[in-house]
A and B are shown apart, each in its own frame.
Chain A
């Protein structure tokens, strides 16, 4: 039986079922344990970054090469026919996808990956479309959470920082809603979790609460997911006041359960003090490394009937 992602586009977390997510996690686990260099043999993957993104692009391109495939593409849309000659994105995609076996893309516009998938003869993998979706980040987060906790069902997580604009936390909350997790949201009022995400959690019967500080929930948590509160969203005085409230240091983790892991999509600025790095709870660097395994799993599943 072919795997559920074979020859499918991966555009939005909302398109994936619990079974799809579990298949990616199991495959990532398998590839981390026993590396395979043959799964993309003789395959060419396009890596088209219409907008720059260092970690996402390099980890996708590493994933392709680790699996024995080759990469073509660009890391800046500014130098393409699209930008220079005014070609539509749909036409660019139609041509490039006729050369390759899969198409990985990042684009600054919301919905670009969905449109690309409608013009592509091969699977399109969304590496981020504007402020909309970034499914491979969610998959690496799920893989990391599963790796550290041994399960996804019934976990307690806190999301801290910018919950309004952070597509990472939106998609992760949407995905974890399929696993009956419990959430705490810790954010300035101006950056609270949007209503549409809360409504989706309500629809799944998921328990979530707002919390005023990290310390008050730490003893209950399995995962503490930190994000950056961006300076440009506030005036200077307000920002200085807020910053300290959404900043984590090692002393705040004293009452934590041994299995608590701190995650962050990176780059971090100062919302996680460097003294956290030495605690057994820090896991954000391993999380970033897991990006390669999660992306290997995605590519392997999309391009192989069985893995």
Chain B
């Protein structure tokens, strides 16, 4: 049987996000508005993973993830790895930690929240209970599970 290997051009400079749970890649692309950057992006969905069976992978050229962005990523892909690439080499491996607040990134799932009609940046306080991440809207004061954020800003 012929062996197939996945070939993706190596990044000169940029960020590689690996070990994204399969199915979350699309959400992360939207979340960080990656396609709006105009930079070259390589995406792999449902790639084989030894750890989880399947995974998603995103490589984005010339964009360097900040530690704050890595923390926001942790909300949706806590076990992802984020490597910052410079000159074809891993310059930095960012560690992901759940952030205290998430500002300006998510749409409040409460349709009666004032943030749905007024031009204001949303803000959520993050807490964890029994391993489940929850976000409380600064404005409407309602608390939501991570999965409630289907719609992204």
Interface residues of A (CB under 8 A from B): 12, 14, 88-90, 107-112, 114-115, 118, 129-133, 196, 199
Residues of A within 8 A of B141 (CB): 12, 14, 110-111, 114, 132-133
Q: Does chain A have a CB within 8 A of B112?
A: yes
Given the known A-B contacts A14-B141, A130-B140, A133-B141, are A110 and B113 also in contact in the complex, defined by CB atoms under 8 Å?
Answer: yes
Residues of B within 8 A of A196 (CB): 143
A14-B141, A115-B139, A133-B141 given. 6 additional CB < 8 A pairs? A89-B114, A89-B118, A109-B112, A110-B114, A118-B120, A196-B143
The answer to whether B143 touches A115, judged by C-beta atoms less than 8 angstroms apart, is no
Bound state CA distance, A187 and B38, in angstroms? 56
The answer to whether A111 touches B119, judged by C-beta atoms less than 8 angstroms apart, is no
Min CB gap B131→A, angstroms? 15
Bound state CA distance, A131 and B137, in angstroms? 14
Interface residues of B (CB under 8 A from A): 110, 112-120, 129, 137-143
Q: Considering the complex of A and B, which 6 residue pairs feature the smallest CB-CB distances, nearest first?
A: A111-B139, A110-B140, A111-B140, A111-B114, A109-B114, A112-B114
The answer to whether A110 touches B118, judged by C-beta atoms less than 8 angstroms apart, is no
Min CB gap A174→B, angstroms? 11
The answer to whether B120 touches A90, judged by C-beta atoms less than 8 angstroms apart, is yes
Bound state CA distance, A110 and B141, in angstroms? 8
Given the known A-B contacts A90-B120, A115-B118, are A130 and B138 also in contact in the complex, defined by CB atoms under 8 Å?
Answer: no
The answer to whether A109 touches B120, judged by C-beta atoms less than 8 angstroms apart, is no
Residues of A within 8 A of B120 (CB): 90, 115, 118
Residues of B within 8 A of A108 (CB): 112
Q: Which residue of chain B has the shortest Cβ distance to A89 in the bound complex?
A: B118
Q: Which residue of chain B has the shortest Cβ distance to A107 in the bound complex?
A: B114
Residues of A within 8 A of B139 (CB): 110-112, 114-115
Bound state CA distance, A285 and B112, in angstroms? 32
